[in-house]
Amino acid sequence: MPTERQVKSVTHGDYRAYEVEIIPGIESVAIDELRSRYRGDIERLHQTRPGFARFDFRGDPERMRQLRSVVAVYEIHQFDVPRPKALLGHQHFTRLLGILRQIVDGFSHTRPSLGIGAAGSGSAVIRRLKHELAEALGLPISDDGKGELFLRLVRAANRDAWEVLPRLTEQPLSKRPWRAVDVPGALNGTVAFAMTRLGSPKAGERVLNLCAGTATIVIEHAISGQSALSLAIDNSPQMLEAAMLNLQSSRNSAQVQLAQADAVCVPLAAGTVDRLYADLPFGNHIGSHQDNVQMYPKLLREAARVAKAEAEFVLLTHEIVLLRRLLTASDWFIDAERKINLAGLHPRLFVLKRKSNTI
Ligand SMILES: C[S@@+](CC[C@H](N)C(=O)[O-])C[C@H]1O[C@@H](n2cnc3c(N)ncnc32)[C@H](O)[C@@H]1O
């Protein structure tokens, strides 16, 4: 039998250790969500590096499926082995199989595929580990390297040990169950959720989402139950069709009105909106820089026209230089901003406030 030291699992009393993966830049939103949801059942919550936080949690891990600001949740299991090759040894391999069988037992997918994420995941040792695990579990190996049963292998900090971190869920939590239609350029659900938490959101606000696309932000806003009615506009009929299907699937159609309109000419009276959102075209998947040079100043003016005096405008863009330049001569000022890392792109989230002397 392995000794206690060799197979120590990461538990503290009733608590078990977990790691969450977060879009870099929104870690504080995730930490706030974890604290407020699990008050009394969470300890030692801290960010470990950009995009990751760890904590001890007691209770049913199924509760963590509710999280909306994190990409994925992983259990942490420590193996006192000097290198991953030792995981192929009988004792460690048997323990690893037990851990993975328990994870798979909680899945609805009957034949999940297996993936391993590790530095050097193409190495002969990791490939062998993956093949032996897949064979022992009777599962296929995923084509995309991730699969439904996904585990990461990382070297333990300050220890001559390795950690195995199986993802708790078959899909990342950022893949929203409400999303009936996806399109290139649709926003990551966890970032949309973060946008609804930035600034000072209040219940009952009148919300306008400019350039709403597939309605990711307004759906995340509606799920939070923060406002009675939102208006989401986009000038593309295809996007609005996708938005409608997503809204129906999220069961929030009653709270969000969709309209085909130009973001520079909004069908609302002046001074009527409390909170605005926009994930602006960056000129990557959608639009071009030249289009943005034309559109952004008009959009900022139109947003200021429909905004109430204390309104906030939470905006995501990659056109940072353009936006900053335009803001100096606009009716908005920057209250907060944060850089995020979205699959290697570095757009910024801005919280703008209406300048009061220009109303
Ligand atoms: C980055 S995408 C928004 C994606 C959205 N957040 C989502 O999750 O699907 C930008 C959107 O702006 C829309 N758009 C571009 N120019 C516009 C304009 N002048 N008026 C209204 N919508 C516009 C595009 O059709 C596109 O849906």
- Assign residue 303 the CATH number of its domain: 3.40.50.150
Strand order across the 207-210 sheet: 256-260, 230-234, 207-210, 273-279, 307-317, 348-354, 332-339
pLDDT attached to residue 5:
37
- Pick the closest to residue 154 from 10, 32, 31 (CA basis): 10
In a domain, 122, yes or no: yes
Q: Does 150 share its domain with 247? A: no
Q: Does 154 share its domain with 37? A: yes
| Ligand 1, CB cutoff 6 Å, lining residues | 185-187, 211, 213-214, 216-217, 234-236, 239, 262-264, 279, 281, 286-287, 295
Q: Does 134 share its domain with 198? A: no
DSSP 8-state symbol, 121: T
Range of the domain at 284: 189-358
Query: pTM for the whole thing?
Result: 0.93
Q: Determine the Cα–Cα distance for residues 188 and 196; give it in Å rounded to an integer.
A: 13
Angle, alpha carbons 218-222-223 (nearest 5°):
120
The tens digit of pLDDT for each residue in 308-336 reads 999 999 999 999 999 999 999 999 999 99
pLDDT attached to residue 2:
40
Q: Does 124 share its domain with 202? A: no
Distance from Cα 280 to the centre of ligand 1, integer Å: 6
- Pick the closest to residue 167 from 71, 294, 26, 286 (CA basis): 71
pLDDT attached to residue 343:
85
Distance from Cα 259 to the centre of ligand 1, integer Å: 12
Distance from Cα 209 to the centre of ligand 1, integer Å: 10
In a domain, 5, yes or no: no
User: Which alpha helices (H) appear in 106-236, and where do they start and end?
Assistant: 124-137, 189-197, 216-223
pLDDT attached to residue 9:
54
Structural domain tally of the chain?
Answer: 2
Residue of 182, 193, 234, 302 with the most ligand 1 atoms within 8 Å of its CB, for mutation: 234
Low-confidence residues in the chain, pLDDT < 50 = 1-8
Closest ligand 1 atom, residue 263 Cα: 20
Q: Does 33 share its domain with 64? A: yes
Strand order across the 162-166 sheet: 77-79, 162-166, 149-155, 114-118
Q: Does 87 share its domain with 128? A: yes
In a domain, 2, yes or no: no
The tens digit of pLDDT for each residue in 142-193 reads 988 789 999 999 999 877 899 999 999 999 999 999 999 999 999 999 999 9
pLDDT attached to residue 287:
67
In a domain, 114, yes or no: yes
Nearest-CA residue for atom 7 of ligand 1? 186
- The strand pair at 332-339 and 348-354 is best described as antiparallel
Nearest-CA residue for atom 11 of ligand 1? 211
